[in-house]
Amino acid sequence: MKYAVIQTGGHQYKVTEGQLLEVNSLTQKEEETFEMSPVLFYKDEEKTEIGTPTLPVVVKVQIVKHLKGDKIEVFKYKSKVRYRRHTGFRPLLSQIKIVQIGEKSPETKKEEAQKSEPKAVTSKKLTPVKKSKTTKLN
């Protein structure tokens, strides 16, 4: 069984192919497919990989729909001073479907390595700035 641990919205989720999952709201549109990263852990039939901190693994995800979660009620109360505040909110969520879990192709790895290489910075010769003499006025 193939599964991975992904991180999104400050939370970590253990995901398998075909799984439906509700996560914090994502900016993509409904029915859009995209690659999710970072992947922290990957388990296949023959190998297990642990990221330090991430792995070059692709998790393809499709947005099923955007929705609101259950209402979370917040009640603040202080005794003997008649202080009571009642508020609540419904968090925005996105329901996603895990389409595919797999490794990146070697060509993609090379392209990312080239992008992450620092470019050579040419230094310009700096000329000193001459300070003008100032006199104090009384």
User: 85 CB contacts (<8 Å, ≥6 apart)?
Assistant: 74, 75, 76, 77
Query: Which tens digit of pLDDT belongs to each residue from 40-93?
Result: 999 998 889 999 889 988 999 999 999 999 999 999 999 999 999 999 999 999
pLDDT at 67: 96
Q: Tell me how crowded residue 100 is: count the other CB atoms within 10 A of its CB.
A: 14
pLDDT at 119: 63
pLDDT at 120: 62
Are 68 and 91 within 8 A, CB to CB? yes
Q: Tell me how crowded residue 53 is: count the other CB atoms within 10 A of its CB.
A: 8
Residue of 34, 46, 35, 48 whose CA lies nearest to 4: 48
